[in-house]
Amino acid sequence: MMRGKRGAIVAIEPETGEILALVTAPNYDPELLAGKSKGTNHRMLEETFGKPLLNRAIQGNYPPGSTFKPSQGAIFLEEGVLTPSTALACHHGYPPLGNRPKCHSHSSPTSLIPALSTSCNAYFSWGLHFMLDDRRYYPSAAVALEHWKQRMVSLGFGYRLGIDLPGEKRGYIPNSGVYDKFYKGAWNGHTIISIAIGQGEVLATPLQIANLAALIANRGYYIRPHVVHSIGGMPLDSMYHNHQPSGISRENWEYIVAGMAGAVTGGTCRAANFAPGEIEVCGKTGTAENPHGKDHSAFIGFAPRSKPRIAVSVYVENGGFGAQFGVPIGRVMMEYYLRDGKLSGSGEAIASSMEHRSISYLNDI
């Protein structure tokens, strides 16, 4: 399904942290890097348009866009700056900044669960503003941002997760020093509001985004993602079995799960609902703004809602809205796995459509 596209798919078994799928596109024939011509072929691949040697699944640093919002909702709940019933205004955007970031049409005011289901930019902008700028919580925006960053680190962002593959990148979560240097100390939550919706300076790998889906599926912890199941019949080191806690309560994660379930049944992820009444799917779209061209299409999800067996992230460079590529590809991945290698008629049609849809790329970055 990634033929003719750039990006990545990562699927994880939440219960174990085992990698079920790790796809990077474009790819190459590994036999090119064996034998007498491997040096020549390596140089050729280095110069090939699209950078096929780049393992985008673990080395692609991307703005996560709205796939980031579940993490923000959980943080704001745990910090106490919002409650599940806090209703906030959205006038097609975030009102205090002239309705920027912009948002689409939905009911207002909105609370957490519908904000996740409809992917409301204003709601999460309000949350960051309260956390950084309301002095009831922290003495300064800088102190608040350091707490925010530590929360993000606990969720698996801003550092290498430690997958058993070489070359993993760490993504990027900014700290207060970055903004102190750039703005000479004159900044607040509004100055950096875009980080609340996975934009601005925030970067993540598709692996980190899939790991977030696995963490949510587990209601608050993840297990280090890994490819190897065992070595010589011996179990893996304990670091591939230990629970990595998020520091956020299971109760608060349940609200995030409810919002992601709503996104599938009646929100921005309806195309992921492959088995209504049979398998409850949770998901979140992402449309990541791209300064170099068309927006990126992203999706995170897991299924079933109860006792999840698969968590997935999809990231398609220049794919546009999350619903254009991210959601349908993610839906096929989950359905194929949960139906033991089979797809429904509609699933087959979606898979065929994705296989035959290509994206034209004008640059090589």
| Residues β-bridged to residue 9 | 23, 314
Angle between helices 250-266 and 206-217 (to 10 degrees): 110
Domain carrying residue 192: 7-30+52-356
Rounded alpha-carbon distances, angstroms, from residue 300 to 23, 186, 209, 336: 15, 35, 7, 16
Asked whether residue 334 is assigned to any structural domain, the reply reads yes
Strand, coil or helix: 250:
helix
| Residues β-bridged to residue 62 | 204
Cβ proximity of 50 and 59 under 8 Å:
no
Question: 329: which 2 tokens?
Answer: 């590809």
Asked whether residue 362 is assigned to any structural domain, the reply reads no
Cβ proximity of 32 and 38 under 8 Å:
yes
Query: What CA–CA distance (Å, rounded) separates 256 from 337?
Result: 24
Asked whether residue 37 is assigned to any structural domain, the reply reads no
Asked whether residue 1 is assigned to any structural domain, the reply reads no
Query: What CA–CA distance (Å, rounded) separates 33 from 335?
Result: 34
| Tokens 């760490």 belong to residue | 170
Nearest to 49 by CA among 365, 364, 293: 364
| Residues β-bridged to residue 204 | 62
Tell me what pLDDT residue 33 has: 82
pTM exceeds cut of 0.85: yes
Q: How many domains does the chain have?
A: 1
Asked whether residue 364 is assigned to any structural domain, the reply reads no
CA dihedral 243, 22, 303, 83 (to 10 degrees): 60
Asked whether residue 45 is assigned to any structural domain, the reply reads no
Asked whether residue 229 is assigned to any structural domain, the reply reads yes
Question: 252: which 2 tokens?
Answer: 């608060």
- Tens-binned pLDDT, residue by residue, of the chain (365 aa): 999 999 999 999 999 999 999 999 999 888 888 888 878 888 888 888 899 999 999 999 999 999 999 999 999 999 999 999 999 999 999 999 999 999 998 999 999 999 999 999 999 999 999 999 999 999 999 999 999 999 999 999 999 999 999 999 999 999 999 999 999 999 999 999 999 999 999 999 999 999 999 999 999 999 999 999 888 888 888 889 999 999 999 999 999 999 999 999 999 999 999 999 999 999 999 999 988 889 999 999 999 999 999 999 999 999 999 999 999 999 999 999 999 999 999 999 999 999 999 999 877 65
**CATH number assigned to the domain comprising residue 133:** 3.40.710.10
